[in-house]
Structure 1
Amino acid sequence: MDEARHSPNPSEITALRAELPPQQGNTGQWGQTSQDKTWKYLCFFVSLILLLTVIILSVILSEVLKRTQQVQEKVFQLNEKVTQGLGDAGHDRDFIRSEVFRQMKAVLAGNESSCEPCPLDWKFFQGSCYFFSLDNLTWTQANDSCVQKQAHLVIINSRTEQDFLTSTGQVTSWIGLFKEGQKGNHRWMDGSTPTYFNWDSKELPDNVTAPACMMMYNYGHWRDFSCESGQFAFICERRQNC
């Protein structure tokens, strides 16, 4: 009777087991929590490394793209300088040739010149022949017409040449200057960059949003105009054969 009275019942045995710490290798609640925390720390560490790697690669890629863009801009600027230099050299050559011709003409002073005279209906000025057409054409048509005459739309290099053209009383006419798009540079027919401008103060060319060609008012000022929309007279120019 006493032994039965002091023996623990099943509920007391279960309570005692719950109070005991889990043995090594036990898969109780404490063991599962520790393993979960270890994996969470590991995942966090790997994610942090990946994030840092992505950030570093992004910075490096951004720097590479920036350097590449800088190199491309330098190459573009160099090409622009070379093109402008070639155009300026062509202008200098024409100017020197005109000056030599003018000096020769002054020295000959009445003697017959060895240069071929300008064709009939063409006007002579400083070593060039000019044809003033009154046909109203688009800029492209006008240029084609000049090419057929073994000439090109007029290239104006100086104030002196501008004054000569204005003094002829020619109506509003196309000249050989054009612009390639909104951000393009102005170019003469020979590809050179202008060194002389005579823009109309009321008609600045900066607001033109499409490829444009230049026309000259009868009083001499220049203006951008749509190459194919307008039809104007035009002026052809070609060097005198000497």
Structure 2
Amino acid sequence: MEEIHDNVGYDESVQAKPSRNQTGPRSSQRRFHAAVVCLGLLSVFQLVGLIGLAVHYFDFIQHSAAELSTVKDNLTNSLQASNSEVLSLTEEKHLLNASLIETAKKRNRLNAELSTVRANLTEERDRLQARLTEMTEERDRLLSLSKQKKTCPTGWRMFSSSCYFFSTDSGSWDRGREDCRARGGDLVVIDCREEQTFLSGFIRTNTWIGLNDRGEENKWKWIDGTPLTLMSWARNQPDNGGGDPQWGEEDCVHIYEEDNTSWNDRSCTTSLQWICEKTP
């Protein structure tokens, strides 16, 4: 019995010690569990990857949505700006049309005024033409009359269209003017060189002419009121007596006998001959 037990105990000890080459059910279970773990890890990794992709896709979606929103806002703003520009252009078009209409009205008004002005100018031209014709006829009539033979009274000499009387009496400037007026004329007014030359041919002594500055000193005027334009003063004349009391106030003018052309101022009370002038 003891041997049997010994054998049994030996067998159990033998059985309890696993063999290194054993390929039984326990080894298969281990491999199964390892495979399960690997699959689990793969599933976890896959899940993590899917979660990562989902997060990335979600961020992409959000980013894209933000960009789309920005693009939408930009498009909306651009559209609003375009609409504003369109409205502005429309208003400008209306203003331009209104301005064109107003310009057309002004043009029509100006054309009407121009037509009126043209009509008035035409009427004025015709009136002036008629007046010119009338004046031409009057001129021709006067020329015709001027061509008729004119004569001066006895004792008078004719030059151009005037008659001249050379006195032989002597007296003051006022006395000479009174005599000329009594003869229907006045003291001579010399208005051209030709007239001065004509008169010098008959002068033999100092002779009064119708020039004086009685109204205002050194402001010489002819008896008809016209200012002095033609001048034939002698050297250093007029001098109003040069300040010498013996000559007095020299306000009247005579022609010098020395050259029969030069003028000199003299006291109006001096006794000289005179020249009268009148029309035939």
TM-score between both structures, scaled by the size of structure 2: 0.43
Q: Which has the higher strand share?
A: 1
Larger radius of gyration: 2
TM-score between both structures, scaled by the size of structure 1: 0.49
Question: Higher relative CO (CA 8 A, sep ≥ 6), structure 1 or 2?
Answer: 1
